[in-house]
A and B are shown apart, each in its own frame.
Chain A
Amino acid sequence: MQSTFLNEKSFLQIDDTVIYEFSNKLNEETMIKISKTIQSHLISAQVHIDKIDDIFKILIEIMQNILNYSYDKIELKNNKREAQGILIVTMNSIENTCTIQSSNLIKNTKKAIIQERLHEIQGLNEKDLRRLLRQKMRAKKDIHTKGAGLGFIIIGLRVVKPVIITFTPIENDILKYTLLLQL
């Protein structure tokens, strides 16, 4: 089942054309390369700077979450990590909308944490999200060695439709976690 997951493709599509296909193997080096390449393709397609900025920020948050929380992550040298994650970025240049779908494997125990983080931001407007961001930064409650637990708020500040998450059982206590965003 896991091998089926690994065969899925990661790509950037602008309108009807797949512009850039990239590896599902995420680590610090590939993260930098993927985000910079997507940014550069979007600039070439004359996507508005604010949209490019939002896409870049969200991709970084998603990829860092994949590295931090994936079931299949492996430890590399210097406290770095590598994990498998599928990213599908679809830009509609006429409507100036972008859909980002990411999938990675997680342990069943992570499901409740993700649902709780999503629940915190659901229905909040920008002002409330910024208030929550400041409140969380002040409380420092969700800080761990790799993050501050603020990623969903950063995402919530940039999406135009509610965030959709799904969990598909893969095997034993492993789930495929899919995040779907529109910005």
Chain B
Amino acid sequence: MQSLNIEATENSPKVSLDFENGVIIFEGKSYPENTFEFYEPISKWLEKYFNGNAKETTTVEIKLSYFNSATSQILFDLFDIINDGESHNLVINWYYDASKKSGLKDYEDYAEEFEDLNIKAIEF
């Protein structure tokens, strides 16, 4: 299995899916016009990784400063993949901007919905 790296643009995040180190990072803004198309290879990679290929420890870092409603759905689907898949030691960190009122609320939606994933909130 190979790593997958996507550079950030003005409206799409940097995505780093580092297979060797078991580190998954989403960073930046996420409102590409074709959001589902953008995330399709990422979903496929995660499905493969969490189906028998996960490292001993996997760390997921979500550092999205802004995301559109389609990305909200995508994030939900990605957490679904992780939740249904196999992982050993899993750490998920959700970074939020404490100066914005919506920062923590977005986190709470996912943390409550995917309680078993024990998603942690960390201030930017």
Contact = CB atoms under 8 A, between A and B. Distances in A.
Given A28-B32, A154-B68, A154-B69, 15 more contacts: A28-B11, A31-B11, A36-B10, A49-B99, A79-B37, A81-B33, A130-B105, A133-B72, A137-B73, A145-B37, A146-B33, A148-B69, A148-B70, A148-B72, A150-B73
Question: Which of A67, A147, A154: most chain B CB closer than 10 A?
Answer: A147
A137 B72 contact: yes
A87 B36 CA distance: 26
Interface residues of A, number: 33
Contacts of A119: none
B100 interface: yes
Q: Which 7 pairs across A and B sit closest by C-beta, in order of nearness? A: A148-B73, A150-B69, A137-B76, A28-B33, A154-B69, A32-B10, A148-B70
Interface string A133-167: 11001101001011110110110010000000000
Interface in A62-99: 64, 67, 79-81
A151 B69 contact: yes
What's the dominant secondary structure at chain B's contact region? Answer: helix
Contacts of A57: 66, 68, 102
A15 B99 CA distance: 25
Contacts, number: 78
Interface string A31-72: 110001000000000000110011011001100100100000
B119 to A, nearest CB: 14
Question: Which of B31, B77, B105: most chain A CB closer than 10 A?
Answer: B31
A53 B109 contact: no
Contacts of B10: 32, 36
Contact of B73 (A61, A140, A157): A140
A175 B76 CA distance: 34
